[in-house]
Amino acid sequence: MKNTKEHILTVALGLFLKNSFKGVTMNEIVKTTGMSKGAFYHYFKSKEALFLAILDEYYSKFMIQDFSSFSHDSLYQFSREMMFDYGNKPQCAEENELHMCGDMNYVFLVLEGIRLFPSFRKKALEHQKREIDAWTEIIGIARKKGEIKSVMTDDQIANIFVFTTDGVGLRAIMSNGTAEEKRKEILGVWDGFYNQIKA
């Protein structure tokens, strides 16, 4: 039962990545999965329900990070563990046929989900807030320990780390950069900024 559901999610994700939400029909999804309509509808009652399940499943698996699991001993260590975690997400694995780390269509899929489904938009915004909060917390700890010194506020420094990641990541996707190239570029920018604020 679980394997069948995962099969549907994987097949439909591939179709949505190639053709967008509006460009894929339920008939096409059912046909591509090789299932009967009755069997298919046992798992998903509509294209919208399937799309939301894909967004929830893959966004959670590939984009969500457990910030509390990263070291809080230093800002430097926190940043390394965060990037290591991101680089080891399943979407970055070489054997993944969808190549989601470097696929602009994946970005379009997430943006389409944010535009079409308020519940998914809320989930994405909540994760963004958790990310900023995690950076702000570790920056505050680093400042108290004397690791960093800056006239910038903790929030401003956190925004630079997060916005840099977003910008470098998007540029790497646009230029078809590999996940490893993107990770090295982000770490290079982070290191340069860290060296400017370290005490």
Residue 95: count of CB within 10 angstroms of its CB:
5
Question: What gap in Å lies between CA 161 and CA 193, rounded to an integer?
Answer: 8
Q: Are 17 and 105 in contact (CB under 8 A)?
A: yes
Superfamily covering domain 2-56:
Homeodomain-like (1.10.10.60)
The answer for residues whose C-beta is within 8 angstroms of residue 5's C-beta and 6 or more apart is: 43
Within 10 A of 149 (CB to CB), how many other CB atoms are there? 10
Query: What's the whole-number mean pLDDT along residues 55-69?
Result: 81
DSSP string, 94-115: TT-TT-GGG-HHHHHHHHHHHH
Q: Residue 98: what pLDDT? A: 46
Per residue in 99-126, pLDDT (tens digit) is: 444 467 777 888 899 999 999 999 989 9
Q: What is the mean pLDDT of residues 131-142?
A: 96
Write down the pLDDT at residue 84: 83
Q: Between residues 4 and 154, which one has the greater pLDDT?
A: 154
**What's phi and psi for 96, nearest 5 deg?**
-70, 115
- Give the model's confidence band at 93: pLDDT under 50 very low, under 70 low, under 90 confident, else very high: very low
CA distance 66 to 131: 9
Task: Tell me the mean pLDDT in the region 64-86.
Answer: 89
- What mean pLDDT is reported for the chain? 85
Q: Give me the DSSP letters along 124-178.
A: HHHHHHHHHHHHHHHHHHHHHHTSB--SS-HHHHHHHHHHHHHHHHHHHHHTT--
Q: What is the mean pLDDT of residues 31-57?
A: 90
Mean pLDDT of the region 32-38 = 90
Query: What is the rounded CA–CA span in Å between residue 29 and residue 12?
Result: 6
Lowest-pLDDT range of 13-22, 122-131, 189-198: 13-22
Taking the chain, what is the end-to-end CA distance rounded to the nearest angstrom? 56
**pLDDT at site 97:** 47
The pLDDT score that the predictor gives to residue 2 is 55
Q: In angstroms, rounded to a whole number, what is the distance separating the alpha carbons of residues 15 and 25?
A: 10
Q: How confident is the model at residue 76 (pLDDT cuts 50, 70, 90)?
A: very high
